[in-house]
Amino acid sequence: MALTVADLKKGEKGIIKEISLDEIPIKLFEMGCLPGNEIELIQHAPFQDPLYLNINGSYLAIRKETALHITIDVIDHNISGV
Amino acid sequence: MSKQIKVALIGNPNTGKTSVFNQLTGLNHKVGNYPGITVEKKEGICKLPRGVKAHILDLPGTYSLNATSLDENVVIELLLNKKDKDFPDVAMVITDVENLKRNLLLFTQIKDLKIPTILVINMADRMRRKGITLDIPLLEEKLKTKIAVVSTRKNEGIDRIKELILDYKNVSSEPCVNASVIDVEYFEGLKNAFPNQDVYKLWLVITQDVNFVNLDRNLVKDASSFSTKPKSELKRLQQKETIYRYQFINGVLKEGYKLDMNAAKGFRASLDKVLTHKIWGYVIFFMILLIIFQAIYDWSSYPMDFIDATFASFSEWAKETLPSGAFTNLIAEGIIPGLGGIVIFIPQIAFLFLFIAVLEETGYMSRVVFLMDRSMRKFGLSGKSVVPLISGTACAIPAVMATRNIENWKERLITILVTPFTTCSARLPVYLIIIALVIPDQRFFGMNLQGLTLMLLYLLGFVMAVVSSWILNKALKIKSRSFFVVEMPNYKIPLLKNVVYTVVEKTKSFVFGAGKIILAISIVLWFLASNGPTDDFTNAEEIVKNKYSEASVGQSVSETDMENEIASFKLQNSYIGILGKGIEPLIQPLGYDWKIGIALVSSFAAREVFVGTLATIYSVGSDDEQTIKSRMGSEVNVLTGGKLFNLASGISLLLFYAFAMQCMSTLAIVKRETNSWKWPLGQLFIMTGFAYVVALIAYQVLK
């Protein structure tokens, strides 16, 4: 199964591979959530939801249900958050 | 009026747009609403060199020209409508130097509308610390614009903005991206179908997808006749457009924007670690809430007592100094107490707005939204509902307006519907006076019983809000996708100027908005209480005196008793007395008499009128200096012969006021925000019906 943003661990980064257009608000891709861009999980709220992300330089919080529709390639396993 | 240059300020949220606006206009600005909708409209005058003036319009923050909220819709509606009286001569896009890439997306869209556009790069004071360098001439050339690099925090660069506005005729109106390349065929088709319109404008109109309010769209009336694409296809194109724009922006910034990664980061991360922490985050949030409540209910009591006393003595003074007559009575018994009833809320409202403004300005509010979202969602609310629910403790009107940034219609609607349950400051005077009358001033396990009751009432309001959201969430069958995107802005030290302006503006709009209604009601009430339809009213004095001289042989009646008797008889036969008597059968089972009935009826306009009404009712025609509290305390229930305000009727009243929808202004705002009468009327009947039933049960059980 493809990895999604919801699978990221704190401090991990990924490259956005694909986003499900029907599930993602336009606003999110205007904020830089587009294929090819880097995404980093900064922090989870309690119960892993919502997610606090750095998407291509924009700091955003989105819900897990949205994060599930953004598939990624994880690029950095070991770097923990700054 | 001399010709003014019309400037529209546009920009993403959190770019310091408001600061730029405040710097340009100073105190020469006013805040209002757009006609027909409650979206804030800020405009002001900016003095430019050579005696020229600019009219500055501050538009709501928006991320792009694809509206996802009513606020954003305003921006698009304005920019698409050349005939609008506010249509700008020049647009000014405010950007944050750290988020330039994303901010430029909006900039390139506005350029596509062929409006001359100035680019303002704000927060320049952060550049060195973040290791950013800009090649301004290159950026100006590539983006086809004029750039002002400013720091509102250090008051730098504002003169450059003014120069650019003055020289706006030399600002290019040429687009920098050609959006139609994303689907040449489709855009060709559009151009042919509407030869007189701008293609990008058409594209924006077609793709707007706002489920908030159906605003009329006059621009392309027959857009539906054009064979448009299915929604999913349009969305794909929008994504393509966004990618295309970012490609252009990335290309420009690659040359004109250098970032030294080593210099960046730090402060934000460490503060976030604490403020969004699983435990500490909540602890800090609740501490802040505690301080806010402390301020609203404790600190503000000093200025409130002062205002109260001042107005009381002012009224006394007016009565004594002005020549006696109907007009003086109107001033002393109607207008001055009415005004006092509004002014007294200023300290509380100002404190609340002060805190909210500071929390918003620092960027902390977004962290609260982040922390609270998950738990609020269980009840059909959103993390963004926290702000309205907190604001609701001051006043439901700004609270309902604060729901505008909730993207999900269902969550927004539920928030709007339940907010009036939170205990607003207008309930406070009612609570305070009734608690003082019916709850003994005793300690119970070291807690003051009266204070405990007040706290319980606040909790009750909050619990009701949550429970009713839960019910509404189950009951409302609205298909609305739960999109939730919150920007987590950089932490900032709030600018005093911005905070002060916000507090002054919001307080002013409360005072004038709610104030008008309260004042009008006070005057109407006074009139209705001072006039009656029959001879019984006009001849009250004789009738009462005759009655006494006939019936009470040997019984001496004191002067004051006689006066009270006359006043009471007069009131019973006044218009308002007749009205109160009329509804008495309905409210008797709750333990109220007709005088309370009058107060209930009048406080359907606004709850705080309750105390004022009773004050008016008890003071009409009587001159003694008794306080309203002791007057209420000595009222007798004619049916039972006991005190009118006893534990049973008191609790019944408290509960009624806790639940009933008694605020016309809120209903009006809900109507505007939901664009339908269905929701405010539903609120009115369901809340008030529930309040009636609960109050009835409470009285019958306790009696």
CATH number reported for the structural domain that contains residue A49 in this entry: 2.30.30.90
Give residue B446's pLDDT. 76
Query: In this prediction, what percent of chain B has a pLDDT beyond 90?
Result: 27
CA B370, B372, B378: angle at the middle one, nearest 5?
125
Give residue B263's pLDDT. 58
Give residue B261's pLDDT. 66
- B432 CB neighbour count, 10 Å cutoff: 15
Res. B353: pLDDT tops 50: yes
Task: Provide DSSP, B50-82.
Answer: GG-EEEEEEPPP-SSSS-SSHHHHHHHHHHH-T
Residues 6+ apart with CB under 8 A from B327: none
Test mutation, B110, B374, B382, chain A, max A CBs within 10 A: B374
Mean pLDDT of A39-58: 89
Res. B624: pLDDT tops 90: no
| Residues 62-91 in B contacting A (C-alpha not used; CB under 8 Å) | 63-64, 66, 68
- Judge whether B595 lies within some domain: no
Give residue B358's pLDDT. 92
Is there a contact between A60 and B64 if contact means CB atoms under 8 Å apart?
no
- Judge whether A81 lies within some domain: no
Q: Is B56:B43 a contact under the CB 8 Å cutoff? A: yes
B294 with B387, same domain: the answer is yes
By residue range, what is the domain housing residue B186? 5-259
Distance from B292 to chain A by nearest Cα, in Å?
Answer: 24
Which backbone phi and psi does B659 adopt, to 5 degrees?
A: -110, -30
Give residue B551's pLDDT. 62
B78 with B136, same domain: the answer is yes
- Judge whether A15 lies within some domain: yes
B77 with B223, same domain: the answer is yes
- Judge whether A49 lies within some domain: yes
Please state, in angstroms and as integers, the Cα–Cα distance from residue B676 to each residue in A76, B9, B434, B668, following that order. 51, 31, 36, 10
From B204, B224, B259, the end of a domain falls on B259
Give residue B227's pLDDT. 60
By residue range, what is the domain housing residue A35? 3-74
The helix or strand, by DSSP H or E, that contains position A73, with its residue range, turns out to be: strand A70-76
Give residue A60's pLDDT. 92
Which backbone phi and psi does A13 adopt, to 5 degrees?
A: -120, 155
From B201, B226, B259, the end of a domain falls on B259
Q: Which of B95-109, B144-158, B548-562, B671-685 has the lowest mean pLDDT?
A: B548-562
- Judge whether B667 lies within some domain: no
- Judge whether B656 lies within some domain: no
Q: What is the pLDDT of residues B437-484, one digit of tens each?
A: 888 888 877 778 888 888 899 999 999 999 999 999 999 888 776 678
- Judge whether A31 lies within some domain: yes
3-class secondary-structure state, position B43 = strand
Verdict on whether the full-model pTM lies above 0.90: no
Mean pLDDT of B69-75: 80
Of A46, A61, A82, the CB nearest to B488: A61
Res. A63: pLDDT tops 80: yes
B90 with B191, same domain: the answer is yes
Q: Which of B192-201, B204-213, B351-360, B607-616 has the lowest mean pLDDT?
A: B204-213
Residues 6+ apart with CB under 8 A from B237: B182, B183, B186, B207, B229
Considering only CB atoms, which residues of chain A are within 8 Å of chain B? 21-22, 25-32, 34-35, 42-43, 45-47, 49-50, 52, 56-63, 65-66, 81-82
Res. B148: pLDDT tops 90: yes
Test mutation, B76, B110, B209, B488, chain A, max A CBs within 10 A: B488
Partners of A55 in beta bridges: A39, A58
Distance from A1 to chain B by nearest Cα, in Å?
Answer: 24
B72 with B191, same domain: the answer is yes
Report which DSSP code applies to B203. H
- Judge whether B358 lies within some domain: yes
Mean pLDDT of B349-372: 89
Query: Which residues does chain A have within 8 Å of residue B374's beta carbon, measured at their own beta carbons?
Result: 45-47, 49-50
- Judge whether B338 lies within some domain: yes
- Judge whether B696 lies within some domain: no
Give residue B616's pLDDT. 64
Res. A81: pLDDT tops 60: no
- Judge whether A80 lies within some domain: no
Q: What is the pLDDT of residues B76-134, one digit of tens each?
A: 888 888 888 889 999 999 999 988 999 999 999 999 988 999 999 998 888 888 888 89
Mean pLDDT of B528-540: 81
Burial code (b: 16+ CB inside 10 Å, e: under 16) for B300-325 equals beeebeebbeebbebbeebbeeeeee
- Look at the block and give the residue holding tokens 């036969």: B573
Of B99, B232, B488, the CB nearest to A52: B488
CA distance B577 to B79: 55
Amino acid at B334: G
Give residue B214's pLDDT. 39
Structural domains in chain A (count)? 1
- Judge whether A59 lies within some domain: yes
CA distance B123 to B137: 19
Query: Which residues does chain B have within 8 Å of residue A66's beta carbon, measured at their own beta carbons?
Result: 483-485
Q: What is the pLDDT of residues B636-651, one digit of tens each?
A: 777 777 888 889 999 9
Q: In chain B, which residue's Cα lies nearest the Cα of A48?
A: B374
- Look at the block and give the residue holding tokens 């629910």: B389
Helix axis angle, B346-362 to B364-377, nearest 10°: 100
Res. A82: pLDDT tops 60: no
**B90 versus B602: which is more confidently predicted?**
B90
- Judge whether B208 lies within some domain: yes
Q: Which of A62-71, B37-46, B223-232, B409-418 has the lowest mean pLDDT?
A: B223-232
Q: What is the pLDDT of residues A16-31, one digit of tens each?
A: 998 888 778 888 888 8
Instruction: Tell me which residue of B237, B251, B230, B232 sits closest to B177, measured CA to CA.
Output: B251
B220 with B318, same domain: the answer is no
Res. B212: pLDDT tops 50: no
- A15 CB neighbour count, 10 Å cutoff: 13
Res. B211: pLDDT tops 50: no
- Judge whether B143 lies within some domain: yes
Give residue B37's pLDDT. 65
Category of B446 on φ-ψ map: left (φ > 0), alpha (ψ -120 to 50) or beta: left
Give residue B121's pLDDT. 94
- Judge whether A82 lies within some domain: no
Mean pLDDT of A48-75: 90
Distance from B63 to chain A by nearest Cα, in Å?
Answer: 7
- Judge whether A30 lies within some domain: yes
Q: In chain B, which residue's Cα lies nearest the Cα of A59?
A: B488
- B459 CB neighbour count, 10 Å cutoff: 11
Of B101, B268, B486, the CB nearest to A57: B101
Res. A51: pLDDT tops 90: yes
CATH code of B168's domain: 3.40.50.300
Query: Which residues does chain B have within 8 Å of residue A50's beta carbon, measured at their own beta carbons?
Result: 370, 373-374, 383, 484, 486
Q: In what order do the strands lie in the sheet with A38-44?
A: A70-76, A13-19, A38-44, A51-55, A58-62, B485-487
- Strands B146-149 and B117-122 come out as parallel
B284 with B255, same domain: the answer is no
Structural domains in chain B (count)? 2
Partners of A43 in beta bridges: A52
Is the confidence metric ipTM above 0.85 for this complex? yes
Is there a contact between B373 and A45 if contact means CB atoms under 8 Å apart?
yes
